[in-house]
């Protein structure tokens, strides 16, 4: 196999040791240079955070908190160490708005590794259709392609006929963008009688099921996907093995129970939490709000890093019941008060259009006194009445849902 570098195939124990050897310095850097972390990590001794167990004791910073802090302290809410000038080449705005710095380092978002796994090589001409304004997607792909040695045509979005005309003239062999826009371009090319020159594609920003992948392959295009965010950069990427997404070499990923910072067992669905080693934007335990799960074993492609199943939904399942917001963190608080509960899920229904919530609890103890105690905790935490239903351990679906809203209004 052809790998981007030797780090991809090193033993996992070696990788883990290297990441946690680097972590104390990154935490110290964040505390010294990002004012928000100076506050949230004030009582943390960076030298003591050298394991997953120690990391799990630090607070999770979620996007909702990042947004609120940015509103109070523009532009970055005190989480960035970058300053205007040579250390910050660009600043972008994602919906919210959330502002993100782009530092001066080559391959700032670390996506070159993912492009390489997708077959991109030096000398390729990449037709990049991600947006070049406001959001960083266009820059994320362009800087990665340059790191691999590709030439980039900055196509951006829209203007389908002009996109096809440029392809006809320049004959790019590689595409970056959303899978849906690629299909639109290919259909327009067919309509105009233009034979596409594309043989490879790297897609993101949308779901990319196997059916879409196979449809592109039937048109002569091998397409791969990745999971990346504007805040973090690359998190995980697809390889020729097509079995899950392999983690990037420069992040620490945890899967935690939604609404908490508590890591779940391997294979269990939970929220993706990422710690980066980016000196400009040193996010420590950043909650992405996305659900995923660790896949057991290693990839058949030979890359030895951990794998995740990909995007499995959103972790923020906050819902309004009888006019009151109920959060996953509140459900976690109730469960934490009763160690007899192995796992729980709050199910919301509306028979006769009246809201009703029931906390389904996996437990071997179905004592009526326990049900009464749990019901009291529900009222105390949520200010609402809720029923309690016991079920055997392992019976709740492994899908990351803490609140399951089943209400119907038709």
pLDDT at 352: 77
**The CATH number of domain 319-405 is 3.30.300.30:** yes
Name the β-bridge partners of 254: 273
User: What is the structure's pLDDT at 319?
Assistant: 87
pLDDT for the residue numbered 129: 96
- Chain mean pLDDT for the chain: 94
Owner of token pair 């391959």:
107
Query: Is 322 or 31 the better-scoring residue by pLDDT?
Result: 31
Using a pLDDT cut of 90, give the percent of the chain over it: 81
Model pLDDT, residue 410: 60
> What is the DSSP code (8-state) at residue 96?
T
Three-state secondary structure string covering 281-327:
CCCCCEEEEEEECEECCCCCCCCCCCEECCCCCECCCCEEECCEEEC
The pLDDT confidence band at residue 1, using thresholds 50, 70 and 90, is low
Tell me what pLDDT residue 354 has: 81
Average pLDDT of span 187-213: 93
% of the chain with per-residue pLDDT over 70: 99
Same CATH topology for 105-230 and 319-405: the answer is no
pLDDT of residue 409: 65
pTM over 0.75: yes
Whether 394 shows a pLDDT value over 90: the answer reads yes
pLDDT digits (tens, 9 = 90+) for 305-361: 999 998 888 887 888 888 788 888 899 999 999 999 999 999 999 887 788 999 999
pLDDT score of 63 more than 90:
no
pLDDT at 339: 94
* pLDDT tens per residue, range 9-30: 999 999 999 999 999 999 999 9
User: In the predicted model, is pLDDT for residue 67 greater than 70?
Assistant: yes
Contacts of residues 98-101 at CB distance under 8 Å and 24 or more positions apart, as own/partner, are 98/63, 98/66, 98/67, 98/70, 98/230, 98/231, 99/70, 99/74, 99/75, 100/76, 100/136, 100/230, 100/231, 100/281, 101/76, 101/280, 101/281
> Which of these CATH numbers, 3.40.50.1220, 3.40.50.12780, 3.40.50.150, 3.40.50.2300, describes 9-80+247-315?
3.40.50.12780
Fold of 105-230: Rossmann fold (3.40.50)
**Residue-range domain boundaries for the chain:** 9-80+247-315, 105-230, 319-405
Q: Find the mean pLDDT for residues 193-208.
A: 92
pLDDT tens track for 242-298: 999 999 999 999 999 988 899 999 999 999 999 999 999 999 999 998 999 999 999
The per-residue pLDDT for 64 is: 83
To the nearest 10 degrees (0 to 180), the angle between helices 179-192 and 160-170 is 70
Q: Is the dihedral of CA 367, 373, 376, 382 positive or negative?
A: negative
């Amino acid at each position: 196999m052809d790998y981007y570098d030797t780090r991809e195939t090193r033993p996992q124990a070696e990788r883990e040791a290297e990441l946690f050897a680097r972590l104390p310095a990154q935490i110290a850097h964040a505390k010294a240079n990002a004012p928000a972390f100076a506050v949230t990590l004030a009582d943390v001794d960076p030298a003591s955070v050298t394991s997953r167990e120690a990391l799990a004791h630090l607070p999770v910073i979620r996007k909702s908190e990042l947004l609120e802090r940015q509103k109070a302290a523009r532009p970055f809410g005190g989480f960035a160490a970058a300053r205007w000038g040579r250390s910050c080449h660009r600043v972008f705005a994602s919906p919210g708005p959330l502002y993100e710095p782009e530092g001066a380092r080559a391959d700032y978002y670390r996506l070159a590794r993912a492009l390489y796994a997708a077959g991109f090589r030096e000398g390729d001409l990449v037709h990049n259709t991600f947006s070049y304004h406001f959001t960083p997607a266009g820059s994320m792909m362009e800087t990665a392609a340059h790191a691999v040695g590709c030439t980039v045509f900055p196509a951006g979005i829209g203007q389908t006929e002009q996109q096809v005309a440029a392809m006809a003239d320049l004959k790019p062999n590689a595409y970056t963008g959303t899978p849906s826009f690629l299909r639109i371009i290919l259909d327009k090319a067919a309509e105009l009688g233009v034979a596409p020159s594309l043989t490879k594609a790297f897609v993101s920003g949308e779901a990319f099921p196997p059916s879409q992948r196979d449809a592109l392959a039937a048109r002569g295009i091998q397409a791969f996907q990745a999971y990346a965010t504007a805040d973090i950069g690359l998190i995980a990427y697809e390889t020729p093995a097509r079995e899950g997404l392999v983690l990037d070499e420069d992040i620490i990923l945890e899967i935690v129970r939604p609404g908490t910072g508590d890591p779940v067992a391997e294979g269990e669905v939970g929220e993706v939490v990422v710690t980066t080693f980016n000196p400009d934007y040193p996010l420590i335990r950043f909650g992405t709000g996305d659900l995923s799960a660790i896949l057991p074993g290693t990839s058949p492609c030979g890359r030895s890093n951990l794998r995740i199943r990909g995007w499995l939904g959103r972790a923020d399942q906050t819902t309004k019941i009888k006019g009151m917001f109920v959060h996953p963190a509140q459900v976690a608080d109730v469960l934490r008060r009763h160690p007899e509960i192995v796992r729980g899920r709050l199910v919301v229904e509306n028979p006769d259009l009246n809201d009703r919530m029931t906390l389904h609890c996996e437990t071997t103890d179905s004592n009526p006194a326990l049900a009464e105690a749990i019901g009291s905790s529900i009222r105390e935490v949520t200010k609402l009445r809720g029923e309690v239903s016991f079920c055997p351990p392992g019976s709740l679906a492994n899908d990351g849902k803490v609140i399951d809203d089943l209400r119907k209004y038709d």
